[in-house]
């Protein structure tokens, strides 16, 4: 919206602000299948319940945990590969002074942490978070007249996609939690920017649960469908790999204040592209990608480049 206001000439510079103060406890805690009847996620949980039932555990953890089970059954993804997402992102957060958690964990510690909904353990799940983020969206004329050219980061492409029938037709939690709409948003952003995933250096993506980071690898075109477990096991998404994914620590460790998450991702990428990320700096980063989703459902992908 703010980008459209500036691009359309209605304003030269717009402040985008997001914030969240979340209630104590897990998102959706205490809700049963019937409580979602009039909710935007009613159909999503209906698909899950038809295939997996509706358990007593936290609803959001259930739907993503069941997506993880399906991925394991379909592609041979392992519990260790899922846990490596938590290992990587908690390790990344140790260099981020703004992260909610800054403790490193071994693979064994992630695997042995409290199970939230198998195979997901606590250290593979984003926490309840309070937080805020803000960015300035400005037009070229404003940037030039204010002498900000050497600080500017350009939005090369940006797209939003929502659920279509593809999200539900398969009856799979993998699709219900957003892989199709994330893929559609990414492809549209690539078309607008003229770039592809091979041009990207650093990525902030929506790792609300470890499985969603793996599903996002596939949706963004980083690997073939079903190959995301191998991708993280090979070290392709950490420092020294092909991309650095979630250098901030991601939602799992940096935190997930819902209304601030998307802008926080963009802020991290701006710091990375300016070379201002200090101990978590991705060397030589020129192009960044932000990926954000919400069930019920929408996905946004943004491609950024340092001028």
Instruction: Please check the confidence at residue 36 and state whether its pLDDT lies above 70.
Output: no
Q: Determine the average pLDDT of the residues in 53-68.
A: 93
Distance of CA 175 to the CA centre of its chain: 16
Instruction: Please check the confidence at residue 256 and state whether its pLDDT lies above 70.
Output: yes
Under 8 Å CB-to-CB from 66, ≥6 apart: which residues? 48, 51, 52, 117, 173
For the segment 92-151, what is each residue's pLDDT rounded down to a tens digit?
999 999 999 999 999 999 999 999 999 999 999 999 899 999 999 999 999 999 999 999
| Residue % of the chain over a pLDDT of 70 | 95
What is the predicted pLDDT for the residue at 128? Answer: 86
What is the predicted pLDDT for the residue at 8? Answer: 84
Cα–Cα dist 124/52, whole Å: 21
Nearest to 291 by CA among 281, 299, 279, 280: 299
Cα–Cα dist 85/207, whole Å: 9
For the segment 8-20, what is each residue's pLDDT rounded down to a tens digit?
888 999 999 999 9
For the segment 267-299, what is each residue's pLDDT rounded down to a tens digit?
999 999 999 999 999 999 999 999 999 999 999
Instruction: Please check the confidence at residue 32 and state whether its pLDDT lies above 60.
Output: no
Q: What residues form DSSP beta bridges with 304?
A: 155, 288
What is the predicted pLDDT for the residue at 7? Answer: 86
């Amino acid at each position: 919206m703010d980008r459209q206001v500036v691009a359309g000439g209605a304003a030269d510079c717009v402040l985008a602000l997001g914030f969240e103060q979340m209630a104590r406890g897990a998102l959706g805690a205490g809700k049963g299948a019937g409580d979602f009847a009039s909710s935007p996620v009613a159909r999503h949980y209906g698909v899950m319940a038809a295939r997996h039932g509706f358990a007593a555990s936290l609803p959001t953890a259930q739907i993503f945990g069941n997506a993880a089970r399906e991925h394991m059954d379909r592609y041979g993804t392992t519990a260790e590969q899922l846990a490596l997402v938590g290992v990587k992102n908690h390790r990344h957060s140790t260099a981020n002074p703004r992260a909610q958690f800054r403790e490193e964990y071994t693979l064994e510690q992630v695997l042995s942490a409290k199970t939230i909904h198998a195979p997901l353990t606590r250290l593979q799940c984003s926490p309840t978070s309070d937080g805020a983020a803000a960015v300035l969206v400005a037009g070229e004329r404003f940037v030039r007249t204010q002498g900000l050219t050497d600080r500017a980061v350009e939005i090369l492409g940006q797209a939003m996609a929502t659920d279509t029938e593809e999200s539900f037709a398969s009856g799979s939690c993998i699709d219900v939690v957003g892989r199709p709409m994330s893929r559609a948003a990414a492809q549209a952003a690539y078309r607008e920017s003229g770039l592809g995933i091979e041009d990207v250096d650093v990525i902030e993506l929506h790792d609300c649960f470890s499985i969603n980071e793996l599903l996002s690898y596939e949706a963004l075109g980083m690997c073939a469908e079903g190959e995301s477990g191998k991708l993280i096991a090979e070290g392709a998404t950490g420092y020294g790999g092909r991309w650095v994914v979630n250098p901030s620590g991601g939602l799992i460790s940096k935190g997930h204040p819902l209304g601030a998450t998307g802008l926080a991702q963009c802020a991290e990428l701006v710091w990375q592209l300016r070379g201002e990320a200090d101990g978590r700096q991705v060397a030589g980063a020129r192009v960044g990608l932000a990926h954000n989703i919400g069930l019920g459902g929408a996905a946004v992908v943004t491609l950024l480049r340092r001028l």
